[in-house]
Structure 1
Amino acid sequence: MANTTMQFKGKIKKREFEEKIIDVCGEDREISSRINVEEGKRMTLYYINGAHAGTWQSGGACIYSNETIESHIASKLRIQNLLAK
């Protein structure tokens, strides 16, 4: 069974991954990245409108499906609205 939460998962150079995430998610969206270290392993997390969209680590990468990314954005907005009250 295919993993429907991912639209890309595989080996790719970091620069190629950054181009791919822009192509897949749209260059008109706010795309940012942040380096994170977990259990001594360095990874770059990518965000669209502040919500997690994909990860690159040591040549391996994944990009969530558009549906999952939109769900992450909606969840982030709900949390922001709750905190604003």
Structure 2
Amino acid sequence: MGAAMSLDITGERIEAAVQPKRMYTPTILSVRAQSGTVEIHLNDEQLAEIEFAIRQHLDSVRYPEEPQETVEDVKLEYSIKEGIA
């Protein structure tokens, strides 16, 4: 069964929860926003894949591979050179 769904919730407050698997239902990842709720039924390995993808994204946003030099870095570097000279 294939399905594609898209829900733009970028400007909304969200609630995310994981309901553990029970006897007759798998693990459920639930994301609730004002415009709707998405529930994904999955196993723990699939949930771990989603967690890995999210963690990779957040790490790349927080810590870019090549840090860019800021104006303050340049000022500090210049003042150090001035102090040495």
If the TM-score is normalised by the length of the shorter chain, which range does it land in?
0.3 to 0.5
Larger radius of gyration: 2
> What TM-score do you get using the length of structure 1 for normalisation?
0.36
Report which structure shows greater RCO (CA 8 Å, sep ≥6).
1
Larger % of strand: which? Answer: 1
How does the TM-score come out when normalised to structure 2? 0.36
